Amino acid sequence: IELWTEAAELGSIDAHYSLGLVYYKGDGVEEDKPRSIQHWQEAAINGHVQSRHNLGIAEHKNGNYKLAVQHWMITAKMGYDKSLNRIKEMFKDGHATKAQYAEALLGYRDSVEEMKSPQREEGKRLGFLINMASDRTGRPSFRNANEDAVLTAKDIDRPEDDRASTVSRLGMPRGWEELKTVVSKPQHEEVALGPRLKTVQRIIATTEMLA
């Protein structure tokens, strides 16, 4: 919790997402759903797909179907198939219109096609290295928008391998030097990663100070 809190203060959207999970479930902390929602909202406005999807689930559980559809429309258009399936279910249940489902489906297909671009593939490769480096540190990882998350705690999405540990105890993770090399290469500055790359660099610097 402390590591995620520190990372969230540094601007990590994945840390906000993970904090949202533990507070929503009361996993190791006192259950605090409003606080959970705040963390997911912070991550969602900065582009975290699973956080916005979970906001949709929370709204759906509260009977706010219109807001749930709005959240899932956004994430479906970002290529998240679980949100598209949710909209399909909402359409069948009469809580979403045919036009909304069609719009979500077209947006999803466009996003999937865009993800096949060379720039996206390079970004995915960088994302894999970041995930690999974070597995042993407990630092939040940057996951791809179309990653298949595991549903736990009654439909709340959670990554398969969230492990809390410290850099001081485990040392630098395998692949860390390779990660730093990839991030620092000039050609990767052209990859359309935007704010995420800067956040990666901040976490690298912070982790090195803690090591």
Per residue in 144-157, pLDDT tens?
Answer: 433 333 333 445 55
2 falls in which pLDDT band (50, 70, 90)? confident
pLDDT at residue 7 tops 70 = yes
Residue 50's alpha-carbon distances to 74, 94, 145, 152, in angstroms, are: 11, 24, 8, 13
Residue 55 has pLDDT above 70, yes or no: yes
Structural domain contains residue 138: yes
Residue range 186-196, pLDDT digits in tens: 444 434 445 55
Both 129 and 187 in one domain: the answer is yes
How many domains is the chain partitioned into structurally? 2
**Predicted confidence (pLDDT) at residue 205 exceeds the cutoff of 70:** no
Specify the pLDDT at position 1.
83
In-domain check, residue 123: yes
Q: How far apart are CA 168 and CA 98, in angstroms?
A: 54
In a domain, 143, yes or no: yes
Quick check: is 57 in a domain? no
